[in-house]
Amino acid sequence: MGKVLIIGAGAVASVAAHKCCQNSDVFDEVVIASRTLSKCDALKKSIEDKNPETKSKITTAQIDANDVDALVKLLEIEKPDVCLHLALPYQDLTIMEACLKTQTPYVDTANFESLDDPYFNYEPQWALHQKFVDRNTMALLGSGFDPGVTGVFVAYAMKHHFDEIETIDILDCNAGDHGYPFATNFNPEINIREVTADGEYWENGDWKKTKPLEVKRVYDFPEIGERDMYLMYHEELESIAKNVPNLKCARFFMTFGESYLRHLFALKDVGMTSIEPIEFQGQKIVPLQFLKAVLPDPSTLGSRTKGKTNIGCIFTGKKDGKSKTYYIYNVCDHESSFREVGSQAVAYTTGVPAMIGASMVMQKIWNRAGVFNVENFDPDPFMEELNRWGLPWKESFNPMLVE
Ligand code: NDP
Find out whether the beta carbon of 109 lies less than 6 Å from any atom of ligand 1: yes
What does the pLDDT read at residue 187?
78
- Distance in Å, CA 24 to ligand 1 centroid: 24
Give the model confidence (pLDDT) of 362-395 as tens digits.
Answer: 999 999 999 999 999 999 999 999 999 999 999 9
- Provide CB contacts within 8 A for 56, sequence distance 6+: 20, 21, 24, 27, 28, 29, 30
- Distance in Å, CA 8 to ligand 1 centroid: 6
Which ranges of the chain have pLDDT less than 70? none
CB 253 within 8 A of CB 269: no
- Distance in Å, CA 87 to ligand 1 centroid: 4
Closest CA to 170 of 130, 189, 193, 142: 142
CB-based burial label for 92 (10 Å; 0-12, 13-18, 19+): buried
Find out whether the beta carbon of 292 lies less than 6 Å from any atom of ligand 1: no
What does the pLDDT read at residue 190?
80
Q: Which atom of ligand 1 is nearest to the CA of 354?
A: 41
**What's the pTM?**
0.95
CA distance 257 to 340: 27
- Distance in Å, CA 186 to ligand 1 centroid: 8
Pocket test for ligand 1, best of 14, 88, 374 (most atoms within 8 A of CB): 88
Peptide bond preceding 147: is omega within 30 degrees of 0, i.e. cis?
A: yes
What does the pLDDT read at residue 294?
93
Length of the chain as a residue count: 403
Q: What is the DSSP letter of 367?
A: -
Q: Which atom of ligand 1 is nearest to the CA of 297?
A: 3
CA-CA-CA-CA dihedral for 228, 184, 6, 370, to nearest 10: 40
Find out whether the beta carbon of 107 lies less than 6 Å from any atom of ligand 1: no
- Provide CB contacts within 8 A for 48, sequence distance 6+: 54, 58
- Using the Cα atoms of residue 256, residue 261, residue 262 and residue 264 in order, give the sign of their dihedral: positive
Find out whether the beta carbon of 190 lies less than 6 Å from any atom of ligand 1: yes
- Provide CB contacts within 8 A for 22, sequence distance 6+: 51, 54, 389
Q: What is the DSSP letter of 343?
A: S
CB-based burial label for 17 (10 Å; 0-12, 13-18, 19+): buried
CB 198 within 8 A of CB 280: no
CB 3 within 8 A of CB 80: yes
Q: How many CA atoms lie within 13 A of 105 on its CB side?
A: 22
Pocket test for ligand 1, best of 350, 355, 373 (most atoms within 8 A of CB): 350
Q: What fold is seen in the domain 149-338?
A: Dihydrodipicolinate Reductase; domain 2 (3.30.360)
Q: Which atom of ligand 1 is nearest to the CA of 13?
A: 25
Pocket test for ligand 1, best of 12, 234, 344, 352 (most atoms within 8 A of CB): 12
Find out whether the beta carbon of 89 lies less than 6 Å from any atom of ligand 1: yes
Find out whether the beta carbon of 153 lies less than 6 Å from any atom of ligand 1: no
What does the pLDDT read at residue 115?
81
Q: How many CA atoms lie within 13 A of 142 on its CB side?
A: 29
Domain residues of the chain, as ranges? 149-338
